[in-house]
A and B are shown apart, each in its own frame.
Chain A
Amino acid sequence: MTDLPPFLVALPLVASVVVLFAGLARSKTGWPIAALAGVAQLGLAGYLAYRVFTAGPISYVVGGFEAFYGIELVIDGLSASVVVLIAAVSLGILAYARTAGPRGNPFYATYLLLVGGLTGVAVTGDVFNMYVFIEISGLTAYALVASGDSGRSAVAALKYLIVGTVGASLYLLGVGYAYIGTGTLNMADLSAMLAEVGYQSTLVQTAFALFAIGLFIKTAVFPLHTWQPEAYAGSPDSVSGFVSALVSTTFAYALIRISLTVFTPDFFAAVDLAQTLLIVGAVVSIVAGSLLAVSQTEIKRMLAYSSVSQFGLVLAGLAVLNQTAMVGATVHLLGHAVMKGGLFLAAGLIATATGAREIHEYEGLSERMPYAAGAFAVLAFAMVGVPPTIGFVGKWYIAFGAVEAQLWPLAAIILASTLLTLAYFARLVERMYFREPAAADDHPEGEATGAQPDAMVADGGRPSLGMYAAVLVAAVLAVVLAPAVVPFEQLLDPTLDILLP
């Protein structure tokens, strides 16, 4: 059909190498090349998504082998959405990172490598190939987290690396079990062969458990989230925006892909325990993530725990196993990326301008930085699920799906999650808008950050236009995307008909 799919992965990878070598010749070449690659990637992703949505799924076998032996790339509606998301968000964050840093060609090379890895996870149709891409994404994510100057980011990255590797290894073990049972690694073949082996087989069930737990770790589902808050909080602002918006998102996509394409809803119908595993993971994540978020004092840690809770919601959408909830899970997956990415960038923007990184330092922020505070507030309310934002629409689909499936306790938790989310965002909004900035001597360290709007603190640099633009665009998107959901659902329908017959 088309030879373009491999370029989705190859383009960022090649660009990454180009950036690295260009850096040897001249420094400061990283950003333009990366931006160029990002634009090209977005165009390519957009074009392929257009093809997928108009003409149906695209499949491409790398190197001309037969699909059974060779590695197949499959782009359906779901993966096309994720690919476009990855391309768009990574480009947006590139705009932000230009002045926010970290700078230097190695950073941009790693950045592009991560984009390539994530895209690979999204388009591959082979479980082992997915493992390789998961590890590529993982490795580069660890490196990016460590790209901050502080020792803190190195420690965070190391923790992330060890826990993340365990997750990926469990996934690999799952691949092994599935391979022993069926002798194939291709997703489409696997799903047929697993059904032949029988869903009651211990081998198949163990394989699912390993896949699920491995990806739970990668997605940061409570209680396997331990790497995540430190990794988000310890990394540079642009990186935490990028990682929070895309990495967990892509791994959640992988979980959806494995659950629905490889194991299929029939598996869940046959094995109640599998669905229970997902539901319990979802509920525990939603509740515990929110409660932990409430108890944080550092903004980025709070946002990180919020992600734990929101991915619980996505997981809930998957666990319901009907089309409505799946639309919700997809919408929330994409919406969360925009909202949470935007929130992290806004937090970074505010920290760059005022040095405020703790919740109490946000007092009276609305007067010092009206636009940043406004964007933050809009994104926060979108996250809470105030209509008519994207956060509301996703939640509505998931909740309605849960009601359709008559999973009442899950539906109740999903609805209650609104209030839980409100609990940690409302106090921030209140501080930003309805409190006077604290006097300088209120700070235990005696920092005069609160009182001086233009103080340049550790991160250095005035917020640039690109930083503002990225944050404001995210805020606008959080609202504007909501009406686009219905057409999007129609585009997604054929894919879902295949995934969830």
Chain B
Amino acid sequence: MTEITPSLRPLAAVLVSAIAIVPILLSGRRPNLRESWTVLAALSTFGIIASMVPGVLSGTVYASRLGTFLPGVEFTLMADPLGLLFALLASLLWIVTSFYSMGYMRGLDEHAQTRYFAAFAASVASAVGVAFAANLFVLFVFYELLTVATYPLVTHDETDEARAAGRKYLTYTFGGGVAVFAGAVLVFWMVGDVSFAAGGIDGLAAAANADPMIARLAFALLAGGFGVKAALMPLHSWLPDAMVAPTPVSGLLHAVAVVKSGVFGIARLVLDIYGPGLVGELGMGTILAAVAAFTLVVASVIALRQDNLKRRLAFSTVSQLSYIVLGLAVGAVAVGSPGNASAYALVGGLLHIPAHAFMKLTLFFCAGALHVETHTDDISNMAGIGRRMPVTMGAFAVAAAGMAGIPLVAGFVSKYFLLIGSVSAGGTIYAVALLVSGVLNIAYFWPVVYTAFFESPTERDPKPLVEGPLGGRFGNAAATLRSDGGDSSSEVRSDGGDPEDGSEAEQDDHGFAADHEGQGIQDTMETVGQLDEDHGEDDRLDWQHRRWTGEESTWLMLGPICFAAAGSVVLGIVPDLAVFLRIVRLIVAGATGVSV
């Protein structure tokens, strides 16, 4: 069984990136020095975490005890398999994102870069803290710190829209934090212990039997609280708005670190606090699964209508996160079902954490590269852009295929496990939801790839789904076709207004505020400015043609894109070689006692 080894490594992993904030802030006037601190911190964090992998795989748990935090609650950081999975992922992708951030921030000559990099380091430190938290309270502490640390990144643009998004973000996530706090208090009150234990806290089952309503309430509060960051519907609406942040932030934080901390919280809740069996018994698993299934289908449908690439990706994230939650929930419901259904579902859900991270990071990086190089944000303006940015769009195609669950890319493996799990658990409806969502995934990603490679600015098909009014058109309504990309006449909202209100009916589903940089008409103008008749083989307007050798952008951005895309392929082709699947199997074996 597992043995707990005292070690300072989990603490060091958190501290390195936290301490890096100081030199980053101090060297604000010397960008190169500042960025080398970031890279140094990223590398050493990853090194420390990676050094624990062999030990953890052989059954060791590293723990740093820092004394009593509250009576009965120790402040302990602990590297167990589940924590290591998340920490390894976050720290590995932080390295990549650091390089990408340099390319992105310098490419756009952004303001307040020092604050940006410092907040980024703080966010990663908090995320690693979330991963290594040994009990619910330590988790809560870092969960809240993560909120505070990411807030400056969401509000980075300092536009009215960014501030509104930041406010919304704070309200949602602190609201979730309060729910987590309340749930933690309830759990502590029931059993007097909040330390994570594989398979559930001892004594919680007895307490839950004594008073199932309190146990359900606590579960609902915790799941709801974590569900905010996991963007479960109807708590998701901060995430699309937070896309106003710089793209590396959207990439690492809003596809990996922050949102996954919510998912990770739910994983801890299901696996290490209640235990899958108890969650199923309380009937909470079914509810959670239903919410997740609903979210993953509905978010996919909404994504279809997003013309802005980042918003489309955001709704895709909302949908994909629910795959993970669905895996956890089905795993809980299916305890005791034949054929190791529970274990398969859990493996599928947990493996989707790294799988989705690699793929979605690729997609966001691509969106960011497009933004930096061509200032194009709307899909309707991306016709033929594959010739301008071939590597980027190639990577995009690979990752998009993975999202849809096409074999050889990461998404396939996790979805395969998920499907096996839900079918053999008898949860046909979940399997149907998974398949429907897979189809929808293709439906919203393929048009991007298609328009990039197989259309040109002068020759393209209409996009009725995006451009037409919701619910279709009747009769001779071609006149109602809107101009590409957005309605610039939508009124400028006053500061503090809710971006969701206003004249919804007169807009497309663009979603960003009217002053958002580079959208709608503005985006189209940017695009038109770069098109020229001399670029193509014939005399039609076209993007510049760039070769596949990286002249489309800087390698600071292309490198990370290629790395992330390669990661998704490796995870898809040889999942057993990549360490993530082994860790996932270990987690599931620990929680259910079944190896698959």
Query: Which residues of A does B touch, CB under 8 Å?
Result: 381, 384, 386-388, 392-393, 396-397, 399-400, 403-404, 411-412, 415-416, 418-419, 422, 426-427, 430, 433-436, 483, 485-486, 489
- Contact between B70 and A386 (Cβ–Cβ < 8 Å)? no
| B168-183 interface code vs A (CB 8 A; 1 in, 0 out) | 0011001101100110
Known: A422-B170, A426-B170. A489 touches B175 (CB 8 A): no
| B117-160 interface code vs A (CB 8 A; 1 in, 0 out) | 00000000000000000000100110011011000100100100
Interface of A: prevailing SS:
helix
A45 to B171 Cα, complex, angstroms: 42
CB-CB nearest in chain A for B190: A403
B338 contacts A by Cβ under 8 Å: no
A386 to B173 Cα, complex, angstroms: 12
Interface of B: prevailing SS:
helix
B334 contacts A by Cβ under 8 Å: no
B167 contacts A by Cβ under 8 Å: yes
A199 to B144 Cα, complex, angstroms: 46
**B170–chain A nearest beta-carbon distance, Å:** 5
With a cutoff of 8 Å between Cβ atoms, the chain A residues found around residue B185 in the complex are 396, 399-400, 403, 411
Contact of B166 among A415, A416, A434, A486 (CB under 8 A): A434
Known: A419-B171, A419-B178, A435-B158. A430 touches B70 (CB 8 A): no
Known: A387-B144, A418-B174, A419-B175. A396 touches B163 (CB 8 A): no
What are 15 A-B interface contacts by the 8 Å CB criterion? Answer: A386-B144, A387-B140, A392-B141, A393-B70, A399-B181, A403-B185, A403-B186, A403-B189, A411-B182, A415-B181, A415-B182, A422-B171, A430-B167, A486-B67, A486-B69
CB-CB nearest in chain B for A422: B174
With a cutoff of 8 Å between Cβ atoms, the chain A residues found around residue B75 in the complex are 483
- Contact between B71 and A426 (Cβ–Cβ < 8 Å)? no
B416 contacts A by Cβ under 8 Å: no
B188 contacts A by Cβ under 8 Å: yes
With a cutoff of 8 Å between Cβ atoms, the chain A residues found around residue B188 in the complex are 400
B162 contacts A by Cβ under 8 Å: yes
With a cutoff of 8 Å between Cβ atoms, the chain B residues found around residue A418 in the complex are 174, 177-178, 181
CB-CB nearest in chain A for B175: A419
A384 to B188 Cα, complex, angstroms: 22
**B452–chain A nearest beta-carbon distance, Å:** 34
Name the residue in A397, A403, A485 with the highest tally of chain B Cβ atoms < 10 Å from its Cβ: A403
- Contact between B178 and A416 (Cβ–Cβ < 8 Å)? yes
Contact of B155 among A403, A412, A419, A430 (CB under 8 A): A430
- Contact between A386 and B152 (Cβ–Cβ < 8 Å)? no
With a cutoff of 8 Å between Cβ atoms, the chain B residues found around residue A400 in the complex are 185, 188-189
CB-CB nearest in chain A for B170: A426
**B270–chain A nearest beta-carbon distance, Å:** 23
A416 to B141 Cα, complex, angstroms: 17
B68 contacts A by Cβ under 8 Å: yes
Name the residue in A397, A412, A418 with the highest tally of chain B Cβ atoms < 10 Å from its Cβ: A418
- Contact between B162 and A434 (Cβ–Cβ < 8 Å)? yes
**A421–chain B nearest beta-carbon distance, Å:** 10
Known: A387-B145, A400-B189, A403-B185. A434 touches B171 (CB 8 A): no
**A270–chain B nearest beta-carbon distance, Å:** 27
With a cutoff of 8 Å between Cβ atoms, the chain B residues found around residue A434 in the complex are 152, 155, 158, 162-163, 166
A393 to B162 Cα, complex, angstroms: 32
With a cutoff of 8 Å between Cβ atoms, the chain A residues found around residue B147 in the complex are 386
- Contact between B158 and A436 (Cβ–Cβ < 8 Å)? yes
Closest 4 CB pairs of A and B: A387-B141, A434-B155, A486-B68, A434-B158
Query: Which residues of B does A touch, CB under 8 Å?
Result: 67-71, 75, 137, 140-141, 144-145, 147-148, 152, 155, 158, 162-163, 166-167, 170-171, 174-175, 177-178, 181-182, 185-186, 188-189
With a cutoff of 8 Å between Cβ atoms, the chain A residues found around residue B144 in the complex are 386-387, 392
A430 to B186 Cα, complex, angstroms: 33
With a cutoff of 8 Å between Cβ atoms, the chain B residues found around residue A387 in the complex are 137, 140-141, 144-145
A399 to B186 Cα, complex, angstroms: 10
With a cutoff of 8 Å between Cβ atoms, the chain A residues found around residue B171 in the complex are 419, 422
If A422-B171, A430-B163, A434-B152 are given as contacts, then 10 extra A-B residue pairs at C-beta distance below 8 Å, sorted by A number, are A381-B148, A392-B141, A400-B188, A411-B185, A416-B178, A430-B155, A435-B158, A436-B158, A483-B67, A486-B68
With a cutoff of 8 Å between Cβ atoms, the chain B residues found around residue A396 in the complex are 70, 181, 185
A415 to B178 Cα, complex, angstroms: 6
With a cutoff of 8 Å between Cβ atoms, the chain B residues found around residue A422 in the complex are 170-171, 174
**B554–chain A nearest beta-carbon distance, Å:** 28
With a cutoff of 8 Å between Cβ atoms, the chain A residues found around residue B181 in the complex are 396, 399, 415, 418
Known: A399-B181, A422-B170, A433-B152. A489 touches B158 (CB 8 A): no
- Contact between A419 and B174 (Cβ–Cβ < 8 Å)? yes
With a cutoff of 8 Å between Cβ atoms, the chain A residues found around residue B175 in the complex are 419
Known: A418-B174, A430-B155. A386 touches B148 (CB 8 A): yes
With a cutoff of 8 Å between Cβ atoms, the chain A residues found around residue B177 in the complex are 418
**A391–chain B nearest beta-carbon distance, Å:** 11
With a cutoff of 8 Å between Cβ atoms, the chain B residues found around residue A415 in the complex are 178, 181-182
A392 to B185 Cα, complex, angstroms: 13
**B239–chain A nearest beta-carbon distance, Å:** 19
CB-CB nearest in chain B for A412: B182
CB-CB nearest in chain B for A489: B71
A16 to B75 Cα, complex, angstroms: 46
A411 to B188 Cα, complex, angstroms: 14
A318 to B68 Cα, complex, angstroms: 25
A393 to B137 Cα, complex, angstroms: 11
With a cutoff of 8 Å between Cβ atoms, the chain A residues found around residue B145 in the complex are 386-388
A128 to B458 Cα, complex, angstroms: 91
With a cutoff of 8 Å between Cβ atoms, the chain A residues found around residue B67 in the complex are 483, 486
**A277–chain B nearest beta-carbon distance, Å:** 25
With a cutoff of 8 Å between Cβ atoms, the chain B residues found around residue A381 in the complex are 148
CB-CB nearest in chain A for B141: A387
A384 to B70 Cα, complex, angstroms: 19
A428 to B252 Cα, complex, angstroms: 28
**A500–chain B nearest beta-carbon distance, Å:** 16
**A469–chain B nearest beta-carbon distance, Å:** 20
Contact of B141 among A388, A399, A430 (CB under 8 A): A388
CB-CB nearest in chain A for B162: A434
With a cutoff of 8 Å between Cβ atoms, the chain B residues found around residue A399 in the complex are 181-182, 185
**A188–chain B nearest beta-carbon distance, Å:** 29
Name the residue in A404, A412, A427, A430 with the highest tally of chain B Cβ atoms < 10 Å from its Cβ: A430
A416 to B140 Cα, complex, angstroms: 16
With a cutoff of 8 Å between Cβ atoms, the chain B residues found around residue A403 in the complex are 185-186, 189
With a cutoff of 8 Å between Cβ atoms, the chain A residues found around residue B167 in the complex are 426-427, 430
With a cutoff of 8 Å between Cβ atoms, the chain A residues found around residue B137 in the complex are 387
A422 to B67 Cα, complex, angstroms: 29
A485 to B71 Cα, complex, angstroms: 9
CB-CB nearest in chain A for B66: A483
With a cutoff of 8 Å between Cβ atoms, the chain B residues found around residue A486 in the complex are 67-71
With a cutoff of 8 Å between Cβ atoms, the chain B residues found around residue A430 in the complex are 155, 163, 166-167
With a cutoff of 8 Å between Cβ atoms, the chain B residues found around residue A426 in the complex are 167, 170
**B20–chain A nearest beta-carbon distance, Å:** 18
A128 to B71 Cα, complex, angstroms: 38
A489 to B70 Cα, complex, angstroms: 9
A384 to B140 Cα, complex, angstroms: 15
A32 to B459 Cα, complex, angstroms: 84
**A368–chain B nearest beta-carbon distance, Å:** 14
Name the residue in A386, A387, A403, A435 with the highest tally of chain B Cβ atoms < 10 Å from its Cβ: A387
**B266–chain A nearest beta-carbon distance, Å:** 20
With a cutoff of 8 Å between Cβ atoms, the chain A residues found around residue B71 in the complex are 486, 489
A422 to B158 Cα, complex, angstroms: 20
With a cutoff of 8 Å between Cβ atoms, the chain B residues found around residue A388 in the complex are 69, 141, 145
With a cutoff of 8 Å between Cβ atoms, the chain B residues found around residue A435 in the complex are 158, 163
**B403–chain A nearest beta-carbon distance, Å:** 33
A426 to B169 Cα, complex, angstroms: 11
A381 to B181 Cα, complex, angstroms: 16
CB-CB nearest in chain B for A427: B167
- Contact between A433 and B140 (Cβ–Cβ < 8 Å)? no
With a cutoff of 8 Å between Cβ atoms, the chain B residues found around residue A419 in the complex are 171, 174-175, 178
